[in-house]
Amino acid sequence: MSTLFSHNQKGLSLIELMVAMLISLILLGGVLQVFLSSKNLYNTNTAVSRVQENGRFATEFLSFDIRQAGYKGECLIPPKQHLDIDDETQDLQNAYSTTPAIQGWDGQKPSIFLATETIRANTDSLIVKYAGDGSEFTASGTNNPNTPSVTAGASTGAYAEQIVILANSTGCDIFQNANNENASAFQKSGGNVSPGNINAHWSHSYTGKFSSYILRSHTYYIRNNNGRLPSLVRKVLSPTRQDEELIEGVIDMQVTYGIDRNGDRIADEYVKAGTNNLTATGAGDWDKVVSARVSLLVISPETNVVDELQQFVYPAAKGITKEDAFAKYEDGTVTIKSKRLAQVFTTTVAIRNRLP
């Protein structure tokens, strides 16, 4: 019997090797399938998270400013204007004032923009103005309205060149501060850059308690970016023009404005800028706007995260027909390209200072 097992096996036959390879390939295919499925799920979840996060951030920025529109603190009347803007266009004068508190442009760049500045085609823009960052002071002594300074009795916290509003129950003034934030007095003369101040007296003598605010003049628009996705941008005009890129991936913004027709401070209808006497210069019925409805279209930076091109109804884009690298618009219907994920975020924001 021992002779039957005297020759040990030295290797595998070709058939055995092929069977082993086939089993290995089947196992490897299963592992790859799990890996690819996990990767696709991860990419999709990442795209969803980014779109939702960007949409929430964008609507939060806009909602906060729109709610504050027209706020002037203790200032019950339009503040006395000390900024040297008489030679500027009416649009720029409006941008550096508290009225109109909100103003928009339908499918065109804001008229306050420079000739070289552009916005994304067929998107809306709006400007919101209000008094922010309020602080209360007690004047040290009697401030003569004929002098260029107002003593505050403490560090003002207002940086040089910021546009400041001073106010109490008697009156208010808007000017460009010349002192630094550590100074104990607001100063109009010396050290100002554009726009600067005119030589004028204060509206009254600031004695006792008064408040200071920083003029917030924010223009929101959609900007194209070379080599990357468009973004929501906020142009800050106090003191100088500065673009703050807020959220990347916002490819569209459409805005309608709630107009109060009968004086009850409730929106009777929502209309586009440029209609119903909502003029591009800020004149007309902008003071009757009590709310704004903003629709944002946000897309993911990741491509190929959905099985088919995403298509949905986008009522805010009704009447728009266009096509670009990111989407195709057909009169209220949008098709997102490159199998990106997209979502529309719509919010209606009431202006607090115009509520019933």
Is the entire prediction scored with pTM above 0.85?
yes
Instruction: Quote the DSSP letter at residue 219.
Output: E
Please check the confidence at residue 2 and state whether its pLDDT lies above 60.
no
CB neighbour list of residue 231: distance below 8 Å, 6 or more residues apart: 222, 223, 225, 245, 246, 247, 248, 249, 250
Give the pLDDT band (50/70/90) at residue 37. low
Structure tokens at 100: 């109109």
124, 106 contact by CB (below 8 A):
yes
Q: Which structure tokens are listed for 192?
A: 């100002």
The pLDDT value recorded for residue 18 is 80
Q: Kindly indicate the confidence band of residue 1, based on its pLDDT and cuts at 50, 70 and 90.
A: very low
Rounded CA separation 173/330 (Å): 49
Residue with tokens 């595998």: 12
Phi-psi region of 331 (alpha: psi -120 to 50; beta: other; left: phi over 0): left
Q: What is the mean pLDDT of residues 22-26?
A: 81
| Alpha-carbon torsion (119, 125, 126, 132), positive or negative | negative
Mean pLDDT of 238-264: 93
Tell me the three state secondary structure of residue 175.
strand
Domain locations in the chain as residue ranges: 47-354
Q: Is the pLDDT of residue 20 over 70?
A: yes
Question: Is the per-residue pLDDT at 310 higher than 90?
Answer: yes
SS3 78: coil
pLDDT in tens, 91-112: 888 889 899 999 999 999 998 8
Higher pLDDT, 11 or 336: 336
Closest CA to 99 of 133, 75, 125: 75
Structure tokens at 312: 């949905």
CA distances in angstroms from 57 to 35, 103, 171, 296, listed in the order given: 33, 22, 37, 11
Residues 6+ apart with CB under 8 A from 65: 128, 130, 216, 218, 220
Share of the chain above pLDDT 90, in %: 66
pLDDT tens for 102-160 read: 999 999 999 888 888 999 999 999 999 999 999 999 988 778 899 999 999 899 999 99
Mean pLDDT of the chain: 90
Model pLDDT for residues 157-202, shown as the tens digit of each residue: 999 999 999 999 889 999 999 999 999 999 998 877 788 999 999 9
Tell me which of 9-13, 199-203, 330-334, 338-342 is least confident. Answer: 9-13
